[in-house]
Amino acid sequence: MTERHAVVSVIGKDQVGIIAKVTNILADNQINILDISQTILQDFFTMMMIVDVAGREDLDQLQDQLNHLGDDLGLKINIQLEEIFQAMHRV
């Protein structure tokens, strides 16, 4: 199976346990994290994770779980295939 990467983005107000809760969902879904970066600018939290989604039919179920968590924490959490970022920022 060839590699297929997706980006999980988390944006919103900083609070305790964001990374733990997001990575828990990923672990429960057997998803490996390849890279992770985060910044906090004036209390505004952004985290980007590159994850391996090879062999998955669709990301709907995962997005649902992330939406749930996002609603609970007041954060925007999305998962989208990495190619869109590649296309827009690399020639």
Partner 1 sequence: MDIAHNEMIETIRMIQMENLDIRTVTMGISLQDCADANFDNLKQNVYNKITRYAGRLKEVAEAVEREYGIPIINKRISITPIAEILGNATKEQAIEIARTLDKTAIKLGVDFIGGYSALVHKGMTKGDETLLEALPEALSVTERVCASVSIGTTRAGINMDAVAKMGVIIKEAAERTKNQNGLACAKLVVFCNPVEDNPFMAGAFHGAGEGEAVINVGVSGPGVVLSALKRHDDANLSDVSEIIKKTAFKITRAGELIGRVVAERLQIPFGIVDLSLAPTNAMNDSVAEILEEIGLERVGTHGTIAALALMNDAVKKGGGMASSFVGGLSGAFIPVSEDNGMIRGITDNSLTLPKLEAMTCVCSVGLDMIALTGNVTPATLSAIIADEAAIGMINKKTTAVRVIPVPGKEEGEMVEFGGLLGRAPVMGVNPYSSEKFIKRGGRIAAPLQALIN
Q: Does 25 bind partner 1 (CB under 8 A)?
A: no
Q: Does 19 bind partner 1 (CB under 8 A)?
A: no
Using CB under 8 A, which of 9, 29, 65, 67 touches partner 1?
9
- Alpha-carbon span 89 to 77, nearest angstrom: 21
Q: Measured from the CB of residue 5, what is the shortest distance to partner 1 in angstroms? A: 9
Which 35-74 residues touch partner 1, going by CB under 8 A? 35, 37, 39, 46, 48, 50, 58-60, 63
Query: Three-state DSSP class for 44?
Result: strand
3-state helix, strand, coil in the chain (%, to 5): 35, 40, 25
Using CB under 8 A, which of 27, 40, 54, 84 touches partner 1?
84
- Alpha-carbon span 6 to 20, nearest angstrom: 19
- Alpha-carbon span 81 to 85, nearest angstrom: 8
Q: Which chain residues interact with partner 1 by CB under 8 A? A: 7, 9, 11, 35, 37, 39, 46, 48, 50, 58-60, 63, 76, 78-90
